[in-house]
Structures are given as C-alpha cells and as structure tokens.
Structure 1
Amino acid sequence: MALTAKLQLRQSQSLVMTPQLLQSIRLLQMSRVELERFIDEEIERNPLLERAETPDDSIGGDIFESTAAGEKEEAWTSEAIAERLDSSLENLFPDDPGASQHIGPNLAAQWRSAPAGLPGSGDFLDMAETTAAPVTLRDHVTEQIALTIADPVSRLIAAELADGLDEAGYLRAELAEIAARLGAKETTVEAVLSICQAFDPAGLFARDLAECLALQLAAHDRLDPAMQALLARLDLLARRDFQALKRICGVDEEDLLDMLADIRALDPRPGMAFAGGASDLIVADVEVRAAGDGGWAVELNPATLPRVLVDQVYFARVSRGAKDQAEKDFLAECSQNANWLTRSLDQRAKTILKVASEIVRQQDAFLIHGVRHLKPLNLKTVADAIGMHESTISRVTANKYMLTPRGVFELRYFFTASIAAADGGAAHSSEAVRDRIRQMIEGEKPEKILSDDAIVEALQADDIDIARRTVAKYREAMNIASSVQRRREKRALAGVGR
C-alpha cells in the first residue's frame, strides 16, 4: 500500500487548562490564611491591586475613598501625604493601647484629651492592659540556667541540653553525643542534667514518661519504692491490669487507688505550658443562624472575605506615560491579572455560599436536634443538587469552617458514610452511630460493662444494621478501651468512692 500525504480538516473540542483557570481552582481550595498570603503576594507583584479599606478602618480611610473616586493624583500631593502620615500617636506608636486602629478614631481623640491621671488618659498607662511577649520554654529554661549554674563549663553543657528539649519538655538528645561534641566526660554531662531536672516546672529534661512522672513525684515527696515499682510497669497501667500492679508494688487496693490518684494529678508534658509556635485561630468562613421564618440564614463571614480593588485611574494614568511596547504589555498583563483576581474571588465567595447553603438544607435535622440526626451525605449528592462537579465540592469544603448554633464545624464534617437500617428504612450517619456508641459506653455501670457484641445487639434493636468489627473500629477511633480494660478501670474507680 502506497503512503501518500493528505490534508484534512477536523473539528474537535477540548478543555484547555490555562494558568488563570488553574489558579481559580487553587483559590477554591485555599484556607483563609493561605488566601490572605496569596493576595499579599499578588498585591506586592501587581501595582494595580490594592486592599479595599472599609469605613471602619481608622487611618487612610478618607484618602482611599478619594482614590477610589478618581482622585489618585490629588491623593499623592505633599499635603495629602503629610495629612495621611501625620505625627499622631496612631502612626508613631502603632502598638500603643490608644491607637485608633484598635479603638476607632473618635474614641482615640477622646483618649488623648482625657484629664491626666484618669484611666484612658494619654498620660496614664495601665500596666495590666499591656500585652507582654509570650515566654517560650527555651526562654524559661535559659533564665533558670543563668540563675542556677555559675560554672562556665556547666553552663555551656546546660545550654546544649536545653537545645535538645522538644516542645513537651523532654530531652531528645543523647548524653554521650553531647559529651563527645563538647569534649566533656559523660559523667559531667549527667551531673549537669541532674541540676537541670530540678528546674521548675518539675518534669523538664526527662528522657521518657516514667522519668518525667518520677521527677514530679519526687518534687512532691511521693516517690516511694512502691511508686517506683509502678512507674517501672506503666505498660500494666495502660492495660488496666490492677491485680498485677498490686502484686508487683506490694500494696492493697486502697493504696493502689491513692497511687493512681497521684499519677492522674501529674502533667505528662510539662513543656506544653509555655508558648510554642504561632497557631492560627479557626475563623468560620460561613455563619448559620436561625431565621425569623423558622429556616436558617446562611451568610459569609465578612472577616474572611478579602477586599481587593483594581485601581483603574492609576492604570489609565501610567498607561499614557508608557514609553515602549514592553511597558504597555506589562501594564496590560497586570490589568488582566488584577481583573481576573477580583472576579475569581467573587466567584469563590459565591461558590462557598452556594455549597454551604445546600449543606445546611441537607443537615437541617442536625442543626435542630443534634448529632443523632446527622444524615449520611456524600459529595455527589450536593454536587447534583447545585449543578456542580464533585471535585468542585471537594475543593470548596477543604479547610473551610461553618459557625452554627451547635458550634464550629469543618464543612467536611457534614459528609459522613451511611450505615444501613435493619428494616431497610432510611440509612444512618456513621457519625451519629459513633455518638450512640459513645453514649452507651459512658452510661454503662461497673457491674455491667457492654461488650462489642452487646453494643451490636443494642444498635440492631434501634434499627441500625452494623457489624461487630465496625463497632470495634469506631470504638478504637474514639480512643475507648475494650470491655475488659473498662471493667478493670471502672471497678477501680468505684472503689475510690467507697
């Protein structure tokens, strides 16, 4: 067969994932913190973007409003700049308790004009109202090293030991390694460690849980031979094998209960009392409240909505002064990206509200009656109801939170697997079944501990078709011990009340 070249026309459709489309998809999945960080980067990169300030913003609000109204050039005159960057307390000391960015411009003026010596006066500083920097574990330990250890060599070793502390206050460094690195004897390092283990709070610089508890018991003069024997067999305590512990420690039931009470009063992670890394406060993206007509009002939280404006006036002015095609292309690209970002943010907000509203509609019974009435729900159900793809619902519900009358929940909390009903009726939510199991176990008595089989029978009596292995899986996921371990523990706790 001869090979010949032919020219053919063919028409087809395909979805091209442009960089902007990919970025829009990414925006859906971003959390509030990630979105704020992304917008800050875009504002820094794009001169046409700027933050939109609300009327409540105290500094620069008037300047911004005139800029938005088309008076960009007047806003940057020397008089306007001097007015915006005046020498008031708000600008010189932005962290001052009286700054208007925290209390509002009118109240700030009253604060500055209050009589001297009165609370709220500009000449009066209430030290109780100032906020000190949080004390970290390293700061706390370093201060005690300076006050306790005078020898320079021992102080250097103590500093190395402090570097080996984790956030819970445990020493994770090897003494032999520290000794070799510093050229010191291992016995010298051990002697310095003994000094550090006497620091406050008790339990710091321990190398394992048993040593941490021992240091705290020793500080309270409760580390007797029986307690040492108990700490040596914490594995038996974890299994609630109280009979073996009584035999090993050589104590009766009453003494063992006293020892367990002492251990429960200890802190297994003493270092956690100090400030660690900064953590992000969970802020709800959606707020749900009861409406006057008996339904639910679903609103986006304004605090989580970034406000970004495209400065078209500035774009027009600098475009007129562009010298070559490269500058014009750059400005055109900045304008296109800026307009795309504002549209994408608006679409993101509408999509979140649409998905959240459908979740509220589906989980109406949960909002009224609680977790027992949480319905089984999957992404496809919501996607079909609002005409979106499942992948879009998955991205929207990632890292987003909803404030309801029953608390703050991640949007994905409302999507749970279904467990069939025994009589073929409506299915049950796995989260609701977990709650039933937890309630049954919390209400059991020491003389009648429920086995997994007994829980299965009770659930089936309530029209929930569930297997024993599923009950065991849910129980373990909630960190609930087995029936044997619970029986030992509850009998011991019952003995405390006698």
Structure 2
Amino acid sequence: MELFLAPQLETRVTPALLTLTQMLSLPSIELQQLVQQELSENPALEELEMEDDIDLTDEAILRVLEQRLGDLNPAGDMLSGGDGEEEIDPLLFVAAPQSLGEQLLRDLRASLPERDHAIARLVVESLDEHGFLIDEPSDLAGTLHVDETRVTSVITKLREIGPPGIATRTVQECLLAQLDLLIAEGVAVPPDAHMIVRDHLDDLGARRDRRIAQHLNISEAAIEVVRAFVQHHCYPYPAPLLSHSGQRTRYSQPDVAISLQDDSTFKVEVLHSPRRLLRLNPLYREMIHRGSELSEDEREHVQEYLARARTFLATLRQRESTLQVISEAVVTHQEGFLRHGVRHLTALTRAEIAAEVGVHESTVSRATANKVAWLPSGRLLPFSEFFAAARPVQDVLRELIEHEDDPLSDSELARMLSERGYSVARRTVAKYRDQMQILPSKLRTRRVRVE
C-alpha cells in the first residue's frame, strides 16, 4: 500500500516513539535503541555532554547496589529473600528468550480466570507474525467446543493489554484501533481521520484525494492532514517493534532499582532514563525565535522537528513517571516479600494496582511487561514475579516434597498445605507440581534416610 511505502516516509516521525502506550511496553535496552534512532533522525533533539548538568541519581543507586553485591555471600544472601532463612531457585529468574507469542500468552493468562487459559493459548497461536488474528472467533470456539462469547472476551482482553491493534484482522482494523487509542490518550486526532480510514483507506494510500473529497464533502487539504497524521502516528501492523524469533534475551539489565534506606524504608528509582540525557537543540530553539530570517520551508522544517522533539521528551517523561508510580505501588504491597522472602509474597493483581494509581489495567500490564527490578538483596527479578500469587504456595510445596520420606499424593500435599494456611485443591497441587517439573507420587522414589 503506497501509504506506507512512499519514499518520503524514510525520514518521517517514528510513530511508536510518540505514543506512551507503545513506549511503556519497552524494556530499558530497547528504549535506549529507540532513543538513538530518534537522535539520528531528529536534529532538534540532542544528547547532553557529560560536563553538562546531569542528574546522576541512576549512577549513584547503581554504585550502592554494586557495593551491596560485593558484600553478599554468593551462596547465601544472594539468593535469599532478605532474612537468610530460605533460598529461592535461581533458575526461576534466569534470562530466557521470549517470542511475541510467549510474552502475550503470559500476560494474557495473568489477566484471565484459569478456565479461559486454553482459549488464550489458542487465540495467541492464531496470530500471524505481524500480530493479526488469522482465524474467526467462531472457528476457535468450535475447536475448543466453547461458547463464542468466551473467545470474543479473551480476544478483547488481549487487545486491551497487547500492542495497539493486536488481534485485529486487517490493516484497516489495526489503524482504526490505533486511532481509537490515540483519542483515548488525548492526542488531537484530525476529525476526519476515522471516517477516511474506515471508508477510503485504499483511496488514501493511492492518493485519490479528489475522490475522497467528493464522497465525504471535505477539502483535499483536510485529507492531506489525515494522511500525514496516519503516516506519523500509526503502524500498518500491530507489533512492528516486537521480536518474533525468540532470540532476544530479556532481563539483561534492570529497569527499576529498589533500595533499602537507612530509615528502613524502600526507595524506588527508574533506571537508565534517557530523558535526563536529552534536550532540545539550542540552535533550533534560537532559529525559531529568528523566524523572519528563515524561508517558509526552513521555518516549517524547524517547527516540525522541534514539535517532534518536544513530543518525544514529553512522552519519555510520562513513561518514567508512570513506571515510577506503578513500581512504588507494587513495592508498597510487596514489602513483606522484599524484607523476608518469597513466602511473604502477597497475592496482587495488576487490576488492583491500576485502581490504586488511577490508570487502566492495560497500562499496568504494559508498564510491567518485560521489566526487571533490582532488589535490595542484589537479585534481578522479573516484574511479573510480583504478581505471582502462587509462588509462596509453590515454595512450601517444594519443601514438603523435598522432605518427604514416602512419596506424598497430591491429596496429602493439599491437606498439609491447608494445615500451613494455604487452602488449595488437589488439582491445583497437581498443576503447581507440573509447573515445577516435579513427578507425581507414583513416579517419585521412596527416600531412604541414613541414621
């Protein structure tokens, strides 16, 4: 479609950089890559030199954490939740390559009741490499012999928490979804944009502006405004910035540092914030004040790039503040875990955090997706673990099995968990055991203790 392949688009504003929703989902490494891309494309944006007035809070915290790491016993406190009384399996937090499907499935299942997990998997498996849904909801429902409304509900949830336009079926649906999202974010979308994309997308791409103008009774200038807006703020595919190969390593650097202060309170810091190292190019700011000395084309060039740079910096600020407030809320709920270890992990949902900080649940999902926290103990922890309500139960379950003499059945394990204050059904025990790759009792050997 010419709308996205025209040569003049080579230097256009990269749309994902300018929307908070898409920027939120990026871990710090990928955000830094986007910053470098924007620096190379926008002369009105520049990187501060080190001798300038730079906020070094990130570096200060990193030095403190590195000092803490140096003081830790690798065999003890490093893997402890805080008080040294229990150890956590380090393999739980080893970096693992994640494909787009794995990432979406993990986040989607965390937002759904267990009975819909099979539907979630089928829906995600029905996405093509660009994030489009290739099967009809009715076909998916027939495959699992469930009501179509349940499938539709899962698809709706995926669209809420995934990249804008995910699980749509066409480029047109994808663009309309992105326009709706931009409107919800408060972006000034041209009034005719939705109607033109809905009814005349092919004409818009082929630059048949006169035909659109006649059909909709609008000016060709208004159509050009819509074309420029779509080119600058929308992608033709739902997931253009996400890896589908599964070859990228997540968790290679923390996004948020959690440190224990002298007064025993926790401090949260968003790390590697590129906003603090960027500014508007003073030359461009000066040029805009000398408008009379510029030609019309030069003035338009300066204004365009300055506006683009301001939008980029504003979105970076909003991303940082959103991640900060969400992280602080999570830490407040999980203080017990941070102080005493995994058995003190509190059941917490993204919906609870969203309600508490006043944002949509999908915002929390995107803000915490692929993010890593650096704990006071020195461990790197995927943010998703703060919402893993089953982790304390699994930890006790593992301990019970490790100390059993004769293999305990799932029913016996459920009873013993209940005695310890964890009310779970036998089938839940079986599910947790499978997740931890522990064999059923019939396949576990009797433990012989030597006196």
What TM-score comes out, normalization by structure 1 length? Answer: 0.45
Larger Rg: 1
